[in-house]
């Protein structure tokens, strides 16, 4: 299996900084903004984006996590990880602009599950999507609002996002084999 590194630590940092600026511009500032990461690496990325948004705007932006495991439509076909806790900021989601953050956007099924989970928690004014990597191959009509890197790939390739906080290293690689 050959691996090709497409993003390194500095590239990931630049992409997240750009995403933070784009979120603020799109939202016209930090007001009523809530950033939620999808476990596992989406939570780490959401915290980083929220920190950047807060540094840029001078306003603390609430950040949390949204586990979608039990909302997935492929539980019977795919092995899943144990559910992670959902953590919603104290301000809640009602009337907020929620930015969902995930590491890789592929079929769109995880985001569909996230939208279902959000509906059970509150009624945001708007929901936006940020992904570090968009690899295409959507099965549902879902499009990210903020993207770190568009990385067209074959279904036979795998995209691996490795983050210091989880994996002890920082990179995005693309590898042959397995879908």
Percent of the chain with pLDDT over 70: 93
Query: 142: closest CA among 153, 130, 154?
Result: 130
**Residue 178 confidence (pLDDT) above 80:** no
**Cβ(109)–Cβ(139) under 8 Å?**
yes
Query: Residue 179: its pLDDT value, please?
Result: 44
What mean pLDDT do residues 17-41 have? 97
Q: How many angstroms separate the CA atoms of 69 and 80, rounded?
A: 7
Q: What is the pLDDT of residue 76?
A: 62
Q: Which of 1-10, 54-63, 64-73, 168-177 has the highest mean pLDDT?
A: 54-63
For the chain, domains (ranges, CATH) are 11-73+83-155 (3.40.50.2020)
pLDDT at 83 over 90: no
Report the relative pairing of strands 3-8 and 146-150 from DSSP bridges.
Answer: unpaired
Q: What is the pLDDT of residues 131-167, one digit of tens each?
A: 999 999 999 999 999 999 999 999 999 999 999 999 9
Cα Rg, the chain, nearest whole Å: 16
């Amino acid at each position: 299996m050959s691996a090709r590194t497409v993003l390194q630590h500095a590239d990931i940092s630049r992409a997240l900084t750009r995403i933070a600026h784009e979120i603020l511009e799109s939202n016209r500032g930090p007001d009523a903004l809530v950033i939620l990461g999808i476990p596992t690496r989406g939570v780490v990325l959401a915290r980083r984006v929220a920190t950047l948004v807060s540094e840029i705007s001078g306003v603390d932006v609430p950040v949390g996590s949204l586990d979608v495991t039990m909302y997935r439509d492929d539980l019977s076909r795919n092995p899943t990880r144990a559910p992670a806790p959902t953590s919603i900021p104290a301000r809640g989601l009602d009337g907020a602009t929620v930015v969902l953050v995930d590491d890789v956007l592929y079929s769109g099924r995880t985001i569909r599950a996230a939208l279902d989970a959000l509906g059970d928690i509150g009624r945001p004014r708007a929901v936006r999507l940020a992904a570090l990597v968009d690899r295409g191959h959507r099965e549902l009509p879902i499009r990210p609002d903020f993207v770190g890197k568009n990385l067209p790939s074959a279904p036979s390739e795998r995209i691996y996002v490795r983050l210091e906080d989880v994996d002890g290293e920082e990179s995005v690689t693309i590898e042959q084999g397995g879908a």
